């Protein structure tokens, strides 16, 4: 069940149909999205938070091919429906990301550019920073530190 359900947030479960051999369940909540394995263990999450014309997307978990597909839908929906001036993707909670995650970020950069939104990444763990640099994707270490200087 949805972790926000106890707070009166309505949730609905959808089963991934693109790979019936893998028992994944999507749990959609207002403001957050959780991709779970069939045993209920979270694989990837995105939680949205808005501050003025900035939309924050906090990603956490393991971003592999299946998770990237679901996260892509949620990020695109947020970009189109909320039309933020800036989208900041926080990668602080991401423990693993393969090439599908890199493709996810590159695709959201293109989508944001078309919509007139700037996209920034922050708080990527050290191992992800290396991968992002190799892919030519800039990532700020810590926006609070930058703003303080």
Strand 32-36 versus strand 42-51 pairing type: antiparallel
77-105 pLDDT tens trace: 999 999 999 999 999 999 999 999 999 99
Phi-psi bin for 49: left (phi > 0), alpha (psi -120 to 50), beta?
beta
Global pTM exceeds 0.85: no
Q: Is 84 helix (H, G, I), strand (E, B) or coil?
A: coil
Say what the pLDDT of residue 147 is. 44
Closest alpha carbon to 41 in 19, 65, 21, 22: 22
| Average pLDDT, integer, range 129-136 | 91
Say what the pLDDT of residue 117 is. 96
Distances in Å between the Cα of 22 and the Cα atoms of 6, 16, 67, 124 are 28, 9, 12, 28
Say what the pLDDT of residue 96 is. 92
Say what the pLDDT of residue 42 is. 54
12-63 pLDDT tens trace: 223 333 334 333 333 333 355 555 555 454 579 999 999 999 999 999 999 9
Closest alpha carbon to 88 in 42, 122, 37: 122
Residue 73 has pLDDT above 50, yes or no: yes
Confidence class for position 138, pLDDT limits 50, 70, 90: confident
């Amino acid at each position: 069940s949805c972790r926000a359900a106890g707070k009166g947030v309505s949730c609905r479960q959808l089963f991934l149909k693109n790979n019936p051999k893998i028992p994944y369940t999507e749990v959609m909540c207002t403001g957050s999205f959780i991709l779970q394995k069939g045993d209920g263990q979270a694989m990837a999450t995105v939680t949205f938070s808005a501050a003025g014309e900035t939309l924050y997307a906090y990603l956490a978990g393991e971003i592999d091919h299946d998770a990237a597909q679901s996260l892509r839908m949620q990020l695109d929906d947020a970009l189109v429906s909320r039309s933020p001036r800036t989208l900041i993707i926080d990668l602080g909670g991401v423990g693993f990301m393969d090439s599908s995650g890199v493709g996810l970020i590159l695709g959201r950069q293109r989508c944001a550019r078309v919509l007139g939104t700037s996209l920034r990444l922050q708080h990527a763990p050290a191992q992800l920073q290396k991968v992002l640099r190799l892919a030519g994707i800039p990532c700020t270490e810590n926006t609070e530190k930058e703003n303080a200087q």
